[in-house]
A and B are shown apart, each in its own frame.
Chain A
């Protein structure tokens, strides 16, 4: 065991490169390329601001992805709690020094980048919880005392983000956390209890509200959404996707986005734009790429032996899938609009950074799968 470990601990850069999951890597590169074209199209067929900055970001964070994946997984295991706490501090800083845009305070001005710590928290919480459940024994998982800590670790960032306000990201952070807790083996009954408490609290909370207050709260939770009346964005998005047909309207010919009918086309509705221009054909390819990526990360989870890596890979794969699914369901009109970017494709530095970080750690699990983390 020691022998094995000592050999593996001296992997060269070349070894690490060859130990990478090339399917996952190609999927990232392919999606990156697709995102360049999509961004070029949102800029009206010009090599303009969004395209340039998106390409720069992609390459910067793609590099980050490599760097992250070359770090030993034991490094990520041992730093997961400091990472979580660091992001938590950033979230608190946002409360006081954050930039406000469209009525919500989400960003920290770092000069070269407006950082959105809530995006990083998506990864930070998974790391923290995976670390936690790695450390406790399986017998302790379902003891009440051991449920307390993960719940607090989940609720604090959730509340910080919800009050920014940013319901969408808070929801995705929460879902990511619960997935880890679920995978770790916490009994179904606790989820049921928690769910029941939430359900029973909701009507009480709502009953205190008057109709105009309810609508105010809804607007408050996300003021930048739906400026033209309920359903406008969804209607236009469905029109755009539906009118794309099988092969789409062609690159740069998406009239819905070109003529500004499509809201938020750089960010949350990037899939709509792509779908309009490349039709069912293009959309299924993108969907397939995401599915393959998820499956590859799961298969990494199958390879690794330690609980931290396994929990991390499974949870990240699932969370990643949920980000994709929520975004697609949203633009397809299957669920209400919540702010949820599409990983890699959507414009946005923090989201890109968080995804590359997450993917990098998953890749690190693959590269260092035979190494011990302790």
Chain B
């Protein structure tokens, strides 16, 4: 007899296109933001999220029914989706924003992701519902680190943040997640559906192999407009000014202790 309610996992991985971490960031002359005409790639934490989804499938085989990636961003963000597809995701959704649109904020993104999950789950047949969202703990461009938590809150799902190990058991409908916390790690057991945010130690993302890159070109990529999800990405925050950190002032040499003490006093340091 087949075990009843053999659960099939459907995983959604939201990814963000961000300025590559190897790029030296330059503030634009208007001081309204940074120079974006530089190399972009997938936010490294999101890359770890894609890798984890693919590894879950490698471990759980057919129990993972689908891995879908989604991004919200300008036309070029589609490249990020192709990378994720080449790593092993099955399908992609691109919520396309105009090049001129301001960068969406975490709350807007979380609302859009909620709308997407709800839309998918309404349309999906039994067994096709998204029950696991894996995403980076933060994006390296704005370092907000809020989207995963907000999404879990909006959906009313459990959350396991800063994951360094993820074990999912579709049979019991549970996940055991190791979390990175101050001074150590914490193991938590959670019930699906679940939002997991990834930390650096979770895994090391794979290279995209050429055959998989070729296959990725043929995988479905669906385009949506913000209106399709009924969301508005107008920022709630206003950026007043972006400036470079003050440049470091070089040190100097002193000839003797007296001179050093004099310099320290001059700089306002006094003996306790």
Are A and B part of the same complex? no
Binding site for A on B (CB under 8 A): none
